[in-house]
Structure 1
Amino acid sequence: MEVLPVDIIGLVSVIMGISVVLIPVMGLTARYALKPIVSVMDRYLHGKDTEESVQIVERRLALLEQQLDDVQGSLQRLVEVSEFDAQLRAGSDLEEDPPQIHAPGDSEPE
């Protein structure tokens, strides 16, 4: 079998000539073919991130509300303790009738 010599200059010039036309055509085809797919993926991923961030913010807000309730309860208990301490120091419990404690099912005597 006889091997023919290859004209490198001719081969390179043909490839370059085809590339000048083929590369822009491939670029335009890819842009118009892939743009809808990329935009759908972008909207999906962006929507997913937004949904996750909303859930995180809701969780953080619920935790903050719970902490605020705990702080308010602690503050109320501190106020009650302070008032009770002030009454003990003033001796007001000795002058007044002590409060009556009743069981949850008992009726109060009149």
Structure 2
Amino acid sequence: MHQRSNLEIIAESLNGYVSRCLCCHEFNLAYKNVLLVFDEESLVRFFEWVLSNRQSLDNYQPLPHGRCRIFSSPHSNLFIVFNDEEMEELADLYAAVQIVLEARRLVNCQKNNS
């Protein structure tokens, strides 16, 4: 992520957004106080991992302030936590991202075939 990059917002919700850096083409997932940076494939894998495990008992542990879904990162001391409403918001955000990315692929495919 570059300091002075122009970000193209792809989808947004009340508490976050997914954008793409026009300079380096990385994707940014900003949600509440977390900013995660991915290439497109990693962004998709992240959303699919979180959303496919949102009902897993392995990821369930009630915490103070209502958060109960815990996801571990590759770092042993970093975890991302959500409540059920936040999980729904992430699912909606990902659905919007999928629509935009697929529409862009279709348009680019048509441009390349013309």
Give the structure-1-normalised TM-score: 0.31
The one of the two structures with greater contact order (alpha-carbon pairs below 8 A, sep at least 6) is 2
Q: Which structure has the greater CA radius of gyration?
A: 1
Q: Which has the higher strand share?
A: 2
